[in-house]
Amino acid sequence: MSFEITGKLVARLDIVQRTETFKTREFVIEKSEDINGRTITNYIKFQCVQDKTSMPDRFKLGDDVKVSFNIKGTKWVKDGRENFITNLDAWRMETVKLGQDAPPQQGNDTGYNVSNPAPGISDVVDDLPF
């Protein structure tokens, strides 16, 4: 299963040669969201492997990018204790043009646009206490 996220490239780490035949590289994007009038900023670290380690070089720090990635998890046992690690393995990066990822229109839970309700629905009284 693959995922996508859009954010600003804020860090590119060096390539790390893990074994003679395996190399990795990490990079970080900044993702800010407005939630109930409060801006929440997250920093998401991705990993590239093998031939994808040069992928972040095509972009400048501060560029808005869309990252396509897979989520991978590993389990190992050390000293009788289970350990887990999760990686976000990036396999594509694209430039995002301004306005390309416009937020969806606000709507109610029926899927209709709040400013243009469904036909036949007039002023509905909301009597819920919350």
Residue 33 domain-assigned (yes or no):
yes
Residue 102 domain-assigned (yes or no):
no
Give the pLDDT confidence score for residue 2 in this predicted structure. 87
Give the pLDDT confidence score for residue 97 in this predicted structure. 80
Residue type, 28: V
pTM comes to 0.69
The span from the CA of 73 to the CA of 93, in Å, is 21
Give the pLDDT confidence score for residue 92 in this predicted structure. 96
Give the pLDDT confidence score for residue 30 in this predicted structure. 97
Give the pLDDT confidence score for residue 100 in this predicted structure. 53
Q: What are the beta bridge partners of residue 29? A: 9, 44
Give the pLDDT confidence score for residue 84 in this predicted structure. 95
Residue 51 domain-assigned (yes or no):
yes
At 104, the pLDDT band (50, 70, 90 cuts) reads: very low
For residue 48, the tally of other CB atoms under 10 A from its CB is 24
Tens-digit pLDDT profile for residues 3-39: 999 999 999 999 999 999 999 999 999 999 999 999 9
Overall number of domains in the chain: 1
Residue 104 domain-assigned (yes or no):
no
Residue pointed to by tokens 């490239």 = 9
| Chain centroid, CA 21 distance in Å | 29
Domain containing 35 equals 2-95
Maximum C-alpha span of the chain: 69
Which is more confident, 62 or 101? Answer: 62
CA proximity to 15, closest of 68, 53, 45: 53
Give the pLDDT confidence score for residue 122 in this predicted structure. 42
Give the pLDDT confidence score for residue 1 in this predicted structure. 75
Tens-digit pLDDT profile for residues 42-95: 999 999 999 999 999 999 999 999 999 999 999 999 999 999 999 999 999 999
Residue 108 domain-assigned (yes or no):
no
Residue 26 domain-assigned (yes or no):
yes
State the CATH number of the domain containing residue 14: 2.40.50.140
Residue 109 domain-assigned (yes or no):
no
Residue 6 domain-assigned (yes or no):
yes
The span from the CA of 2 to the CA of 118, in Å, is 35
For residue 49, the tally of other CB atoms under 10 A from its CB is 16
The number of residues making up the chain comes to: 130
The span from the CA of 127 to the CA of 130, in Å, is 9
